[in-house]
Amino acid sequence: MDFNDSAEEARVRAEARAWLEESFPVWRSENGDPPYTTEQARSWHRALAAGDYGAPHWPVEYGGRGYGPVESAIWAEEKARVGANIVFNMVGFGMAGPTIIAHGTEEQKQRHIRAMLNGNEIWCQLFSEPGAGSDLASLATRAFRDGDEWIVNGQKVWSSQADEADYGILLARFDPDKPKHEGLAYFIVDMHTPGVEVRPLRQIDGDAHFSEVFLSDVRVPDANRIGEPGDGWRVATTTLMHERMSIGTSTGGYTFPFVKLAEIARSRYALDPVVRDNLARVYTQERILDFLNKRILSKLRRGEIPTAEGSILKLAIANLSSDAALLGVHLLGPDGALAGEGPQQHFLWERSLHIGGGTDEIQRNVIAERVLGLPREARPDKGLPFSQTRTAG
C-alpha cells in the first residue's frame, strides 16, 4: 500500500501544474470570476484542448493523452487546486464520450469524439421521463424501425443543458413485448432534427438548467444506434456508471469549497467550539471522499470495475455537499438569507445531488443488493413483457 505519487505520477503532476500555472491565469484575466457562461467555459475548454488537456483520459488515437485513472485524478486535483475545474459539456465528456468510446462504431467515434474535444459539440442525456425516473428501464418513448432510420416519439424530462445541446444520448423502447430491460435501444440524436422540441424548466434557484424534451416523429439514422437494439440497457449502464463517477469526482463544481467554508468560519466564529466541531466534521467528510476516489482509482488500475464504490462516492458527495451548504448558510448568519452566490446558491442545489444520477435510495439499494447480497426488492414487473406491466397499462 502506498498513498504517495510514484515517480511517473509525480512527473504527470508537475507537468500538469506547470501547464495550468502558465495558462489558467491568462484565461482568467480575460474572463474574471465565476460563474462562467457556457461560452466562457467553452473558451477555457478550447485552451485546454490546445494544450492537449481537452480530455486527457481518452485514448491517444481520439485526441486524449491515454491517462489512466490515477493520472486523471491527479489532473483533476491540479485543476481544482487553481480553480480551473470549470464544468463544460459534462454529459459529453463524462458520459456520452466514454460510452461512444466503449460501445460506438468507428464511424461514430470519428464523427463525434474529435468534435467534442474541440469544444464544438455540447451533449445532453435523454434518459429520464415523467413516468420513468428511478425506474429508468420502464421508459415509454418508442422507436420504430423504418428502413435505414428509426422514428422516435415520446417525452423526456430533466435533461440538463438540453437547451444548448447539439446532440443527445437517447434511450428508447423498440420492443414493448420484451421485458422492460431487454426492449431498449440506445441512440445518438442530433438535437436540431425536426420534431425535437426543447422546453426549459425553471428550478428553485431561479435558473433553467434542465428541460423537457418532446420528440415527435423524430427521424434518427440507424447509423446513430449504439450497440444492438436489445443492448440499450447494457450500453446505458456504462453511461450511468460514468455519470456517478463524474458527479462523484467533481467535488469542485458541486460542493461549496471547504477552503471558503473555513474562511467564513475563521472570520466570524474562530473561537466558537460548536462551529469548530461542525467545520471539522465537514472536513472529515471531504477527506473520506479523497480516500474513496483513491480506492476507485486503484481498483480501476487493477482492471476491476468499481460498482459499489461509485454508489458510495455519489452518496458521500451528496452528503458533503448538503452539509457544507447548510453549514455555510448558518455561518453567514442573517446574510445567509440573502440571495447570492456562495453557500446560499449551494443550499438551493443541495437536494439535486441526492436526486440526479440515481437517488440516494437507489444507490443504497445497489450497495445492499449487489454488494452485501441482501434479497432483492420485490419487483412485480420482473420478467413480464413491458406491455403487460402496470406502467405500460
Partner 1 sequence: MNLALTEEQDAVRGLARQIFDGRLTADRLKEIAATEDAFDRALWEELARANLLGIAVSEEFGGSGHGIIELCLLLEEVGRAVAPVPAFEALVLGALPLSQFGTPEQKTRYLPGVVEGKIILTGALPEDESSVTARRDGAAWVLDGLAFGVPAVHLASAIVVVASNALFLVDVASVSTARNVVTSHELRFDVSFGGVSAELLGEATAIAWLRERGLLGLCAMQTGVAEKALRLTAEYTSSREQFGRPLGSFQAVQQRVADCYIDVEAMRWTMWQAAWRVSEGFEATEEVLIAKFWASEAGQRVLSAAMHLHGGIGVDVSYPLHRYTLWAKQIELTLGGAAAQLEKLGDVMATCD
Ligand X SMILES: Cc1cc2nc3c(=O)[nH]c(=O)nc-3n(C[C@H](O)[C@H](O)[C@H](O)COP(=O)(O)OP(=O)(O)OC[C@H]3O[C@@H](n4cnc5c(N)ncnc54)[C@H](O)[C@@H]3O)c2cc1C
Q: Which residue in the set 53, 75, 158, 167 belongs to the binding site for ligand X (CB under 6 A)? A: 158
Closest by Cα among 68, 62, 64 to 112: 62
Picked from ligand X, partner 1, none, the partner binding residue 380 (CB below 5 to 8 A depending on kind) is: partner 1
206 binds, among partner 1, ligand X, none (CB under 5 to 8 A by kind): partner 1
Interacting residues with partner 1 (CB under 8 A): 128, 132-135, 138, 157-158, 201-204, 206, 274, 322, 326, 329-330, 333-334, 336-339, 344, 347-348, 350-352, 354-356, 359-361, 364, 377, 379-381, 389-391
Q: Which three three-digit cell numbers place residue 151?
A: 422514428
Residue 68 belongs to what H/E stretch? none
Q: Is 250 in the site for ligand X (CB under 6 A)?
A: no
127 binds, among partner 1, ligand X, none (CB under 5 to 8 A by kind): ligand X
Q: How far is CA 10 from the centre of its chain?
A: 28
Give the three cell numbers for residue 204.
428553485
Please give the backbone phi and psi of residue 149, each rounded to the nearest 5 degrees, phi first: -130, 170
The per-residue DSSP string of 143-185 comes to: EEEETTEEEEEEEEEEEETTTT-SEEEEEEES-TTSBTTTTEE
Asked if 17 and 24 touch (Cβ cutoff 8 Å), the reply is no
Q: How far apart are CA 79 and CA 16, in angstroms?
A: 8
Residue 138 interacting with ligand X (CB under 6 A): no
Indicate which of partner 1, ligand X, none lies near residue 125 (CB less than 5 to 8 Å, by partner kind): ligand X
Q: Which of 71, 78, 121, 243 is catalytic?
A: 243
Residue 159 binds which entry of partner 1, ligand X, none, with Cβ cut-offs from 5 to 8 Å by kind?
A: ligand X
Q: How far is the CB of 354 from ligand X (least distance, A)?
A: 8
203-222 residues near ligand X, rule: CB under 6 A:
210
The residue among 70 and 189 lying less far from ligand X, judged by its C-beta, is: 189
What sign results for the dihedral spanned by CA atoms 308, 310, 314, 320? positive
DSSP type of residue 3: -
- Is 243 a residue of the active site? yes
Residue 253 is a binding residue for ligand X (CB under 6 A): no
Q: Could you write out the DSSP letters of every residue in 252-284?
A: HHHS--HHHHHHHHHHHHTT-HHHHHHHHHHHH
Question: CB 364 → ligand X: shortest distance, Å?
Answer: 8
Q: How many residues are there in the chain?
A: 393
Distance CA 79, CA 181 (A): 38
Q: Compute φ and ψ for 126, nearest 5 degrees.
A: -105, 70
Pick what 358 binds: ligand X, partner 1, none; C-beta below 5 to 8 Å, kind-dependent: ligand X
Return the closest-CA partner of residue 120 out of 151, 161, 86, 92.
Answer: 92
Work out what residue 336 binds among partner 1, ligand X, none; the CB cut-off runs from 5 to 8 Å by kind.
partner 1
Shortest distance, CB of residue 356 to ligand X, whole angstroms?
A: 3
Asked whether position 352 contacts ligand X by CB under 6 A, the answer is yes
- In the bound state with partner 1, the residue whose beta carbon lies nearer, of 277 and 304, is 277
CB 255 within 8 A of CB 324: yes
In the complex, minimum distance from the CB of residue 219 to partner 1, in angstroms, rounded to a whole number: 28
Interface with ligand X: number of residues (CB under 6 A): 18
Looking at 54-62, 120-128, 287-295, 304-312, which segment touches ligand X (CB under 6 A)?
A: 120-128
Among 23, 89, 99, 125, binds ligand X (CB under 6 A): 125
359 near ligand X, judged by CB under 6 A: yes
Q: Are 306 and 300 in contact (CB under 8 A)?
A: yes
Residues lying near ligand X in the complex (CB under 6 A) are found at 124-125, 127-128, 133-134, 158-160, 210, 352, 355-356, 358-359, 361-362, 377
